[in-house]
Amino acid sequence: MTAPVRASDTPFAVDVQQGKDYWWCACGRSANQPFCDGSHKVTDITPIKYSATESKTVWFCGCKASGNKPLCDGTHKKAPAP
Question: pLDDT digit string (tens) for 25-61?
Answer: 999 999 999 999 999 999 999 999 999 999 999 999 9
Q: H-helix or E-strand containing 66?
A: none
Amino acid in the structure at residue 73:
D
CA-based nearest residue to 72, from 30, 1, 24, 29: 24
| pTM for this model (two decimals) | 0.91
φ/ψ of residue 33, rounded to 5 = -55, 140
| pLDDT confidence band for 81 (50 / 70 / 90) | low
